Amino acid sequence: MKLNLLLNPLLIKQVQGEVELDISGIEIDSRQVMQGCLFVCLPGTVHDGHEFAIQAVHAGAIALITEKELTDIPSHITIVQVPDARRALAILADVFYGQPTSRLKLIGVTGTNGKTTTTHLVEHIFNENNKRTGLIGTLYMRIGNYREQTVNTTPESHMLQRNFRTMLEHGAEYAVVEVSSHALDMGRVRGCQFRTAVLTNVTHDHLDYHASMERYSDTKSLLFSQLGSAYGDESKVAILNADDPVSPLYARKTAAQVITYGIQNDADIRASEIQMKPDGTSLRVDTFQGWTHLDLKLLGMFNVYNVLAAIAVSLAERIPLQQVKQSLEMFEGVTGRFEPIYAGQDFTIILDYAHNPDGLENVLQTAKTMTQGRLFCVCGCEGDKDRMKRPIMARVAASYADFAIFTSDNTRSEEPDSILSDMLEGVKGGPIPSNGYTAVVDRREAISQVIELARPGDCVVIAGRGHETHLIVKDQRIPFDDREVILELLGSKTNPALYPEKWVDDDVGVRAPEASL
């Protein structure tokens, strides 16, 4: 596409050089630049993209979008100075990829927990009902059998728009996308024409970035205010969790029609008669399209909320309730989200992605209701992220589990001991139940200990990492997959020849190591 066409909608401070250029792509990372690219210099949290402009030119960039004047750039390179490079990036990406969201029916899901599960539920229902649907989120971008890996839950706007374009090329009618608070804050979804916005919930997370819950909640509400205030042929819908206290404020911020869902409070779509079983959940759902009974394979009250949100999205798209029911009852769950791992052992192991207080509490609450014996939990907290949630998560784990092992997650630049100390602050001397806990720095060792402790009827929750296959330690990505570790350790436990004699003791109290580092 010609640079001058791309620049048309932009507010520009200054242009230096030729604009009748053919642009082959848009890039924000000098290491990804190809010949003929337009390189957008973004100020970042670690670096300033302007510092890499010359590398981008050497890699093949023929034009630059900048916020500052650059001095060392060869004169044949076009430099376009704009007031705000991030805003410019969103507009450029939208134009470059042919405004794909004006042709896709776009559904955005935001919230602290449940985005991945809800987007997968929506994708599943839509695909089952012959509405070809693409998905973007923490796990991947996918449409049909085509998949691409994503670095962020919500990619930067140039990647996002490229993904939408790919979906259109694969025949998508709908796109369902997880919208993180970081993405809303950084304007990654600016330019996206959302048709439906969904809120799962707002609870404590990411306060390293957003600083306060007020700020975090305000950022999430942007998805709803950005639905726009025009009423065209297509009606915009905001789907809100009636049991979350932020919802009335979010309703006020949007001009769209509102559908509420919930369990406790009055709602347009409401679940009742909820029964948790070992292999699923049954419930009654009352909607503005009548009522039905559901027998889900999903476990957990939190998943009832995710299902209600997905029902709301589906009914807004006029999919009949009975068809929604049939699709939901076939849904098997999402990888690493309350996923039972079975390798012939005589106790339950749940692999889960809960990495904040509310997620962990929900998961352990659910696990407790299905457990006849003792409940064990392995969990950790990430380094260089929200320190405030560490003691809270430890307290949650120790309150619900009969025995909790605190261990390492992505430690990044921090020392594992220091993260564990922060966690232990939450259980030391506080008014928590007298359940046992310990801290084991090595994650594999922590999982090994808990598996050895488990006996028939017990349940082990390995939380925090779900689908992840690497641990980030300093600046290294070290292969570590909880699922593989669990299966490997179960292999030795379920194989009697390898079963270690020393673990035959059944008394957790005696075996629990000291509750200190």
Ligand X SMILES: Nc1ncnc2c1ncn2[C@@H]1O[C@H](COP(=O)(O)OP(=O)(O)OP(=O)(O)O)[C@@H](O)[C@H]1O
Sequence ranges of the binding site for ATP? 111-117
Measured from each CB, the residue nearest to ligand X is 114
Cβ neighbours of 9 (radius 10 Å): 12
Contact between 247 and ligand X by CB under 6 A: the answer reads no
Contact between 153 and ligand UAG by CB under 6 A: the answer reads yes
* CB neighbour burial string for 392-402, b if at least 16 within 10 angstroms, e if fewer: bbbbbbbbbbb
Paired residues of 2 in beta bridges:
22
CA 196 to chain centre: 18
Contact between 250 and ligand X by CB under 6 A: the answer reads no
Q: N- to C-terminal Cα distance for the chain? A: 60
Ramachandran region of residue 475, left (φ > 0), alpha (ψ -120 to 50) or beta?
alpha
* CB neighbour burial string for 427-462, b if at least 16 within 10 angstroms, e if fewer: beeeebeebbbbbbbebeebbbbbbbbbeeebbbbb
Q: Are strands 269-277 and 257-262 parallel, antiparallel or unpaired?
A: parallel
Contact between 287 and ligand X by CB under 6 A: the answer reads no
Stretch that binds ligand UAG, among 37-45, 239-247, 368-376, 443-451 (CB under 6 A): 37-45
Kindly tell me which of 138 and 281 has the beta carbon lying closer to ligand X: 138
Beta carbon of residue 29, minimum distance to ligand UAG (angstroms, whole number): 3
Kindly tell me which of 180 and 219 has the beta carbon lying closer to ligand UAG: 180
Residues 308-337 that bind ligand X (CB under 6 A): 337
Site string for ligand X, 352-381 (x = CB under 6 A): xxx---xx--xx------------------
**Residue 107 and residue 178 in contact, taking contact as beta carbons nearer than 8 Å:** no
d(CA 61, CA 77): 8
Give the annotated binding-site residues. Answer: 30, 111-117, 152-154, 180, 188
Token pair in block for residue 197: 């916005």
Beta carbon of residue 139, minimum distance to ligand UAG (angstroms, whole number): 12
- Closest to 367 (Cα-Cα) out of 404, 331, 330: 404
Contact between 138 and ligand X by CB under 6 A: the answer reads yes
141-146: which pairs have CB atoms within 8 A and are 24 or more residues apart?
141/166, 143/167, 143/170, 143/172, 144/170, 144/171, 146/170
**Residue 62 and residue 114 in contact, taking contact as beta carbons nearer than 8 Å:** no
Contact between 224 and ligand X by CB under 6 A: the answer reads no
d(CA 437, CA 261): 37
Using DSSP, state whether 305 is helix, strand or coil.
helix
Beta carbon of residue 487, minimum distance to ligand X (angstroms, whole number): 19
d(CA 97, CA 119): 23
Rg (CA), the chain: 25
Beta carbon of residue 404, minimum distance to ligand UAG (angstroms, whole number): 22
Query: Residue written as tokens 């009969």?
Result: 402
Q: Measured at the alpha carbon of residue 487, what is the angle toward residues 481 and 493, in degrees to the nearest 5?
A: 140
Choosing among ligand X, ligand UAG, none, which partner's interface includes residue 226 (Cβ < 5 to 8 Å by kind)? none
Beta carbon of residue 243, minimum distance to ligand X (angstroms, whole number): 10
Q: What is the sign, positive or negative, of the torsion defined by CA atoms of 370, 372, 378, 382?
A: positive
Stretch that binds ligand X, among 58-66, 67-75, 188-196, 301-309 (CB under 6 A): 301-309
Paired residues of 133 in beta bridges:
174
Contact between 382 and ligand X by CB under 6 A: the answer reads no
Kindly tell me which of 93 and 139 has the beta carbon lying closer to ligand X: 139
Q: Measured at the alpha carbon of residue 271, what is the angle toward residues 110 and 219, in degrees to the nearest 5?
A: 15
Contact between 150 and ligand X by CB under 6 A: the answer reads no
Size of residue set near ligand X by CB under 6 A: 25
Kindly tell me which of 200 and 345 has the beta carbon lying closer to ligand UAG: 200
Contact between 475 and ligand UAG by CB under 6 A: the answer reads no
Token pair in block for residue 406: 């605190």
Among 152, 265, 369, 399, binds ligand UAG (CB under 6 A): 152
Q: Are strands 339-340 and 280-287 parallel, antiparallel or unpaired?
A: unpaired
Q: Are strands 375-381 and 403-408 parallel, antiparallel or unpaired?
A: parallel
Among 20, 45, 475, 514, binds ligand UAG (CB under 6 A): 45
Stretch that binds ligand UAG, among 97-105, 177-185, 213-221, 432-440 (CB under 6 A): 177-185
Contact between 44 and ligand UAG by CB under 6 A: the answer reads yes
Beta carbon of residue 100, minimum distance to ligand UAG (angstroms, whole number): 19
Among 110, 154, 196, 225, binds ligand UAG (CB under 6 A): 154
Choosing among ligand X, ligand UAG, none, which partner's interface includes residue 354 (Cβ < 5 to 8 Å by kind)? ligand X
Question: What φ, ψ does residue 246 adopt, rounded to 5°?
Answer: -75, -15
Among 66, 116, 163, 327, binds ligand X (CB under 6 A): 116
What is the maximum span of the chain, computed from C-alpha positions, in angstroms?
A: 78
- Closest to 310 (Cα-Cα) out of 23, 117, 499: 117
Contact between 153 and ligand X by CB under 6 A: the answer reads yes
Kindly tell me which of 38 and 440 has the beta carbon lying closer to ligand UAG: 38
Among 23, 28, 198, 296, binds ligand UAG (CB under 6 A): 28
Site string for ligand UAG, 181-210 (x = CB under 6 A): -xx---------------------------
Kindly tell me which of 216 and 302 has the beta carbon lying closer to ligand X: 302
Kindly tell me which of 42 and 256 has the beta carbon lying closer to ligand UAG: 42
Contact residues for ligand UAG, defined by CB under 6 A? 28-31, 42, 44-47, 49, 52, 151-154, 156, 180, 182-183
Contact residues for ligand X, defined by CB under 6 A? 111, 113-117, 138, 153, 178, 180, 200-201, 302, 305-306, 337-338, 352-354, 358-359, 362-363, 466
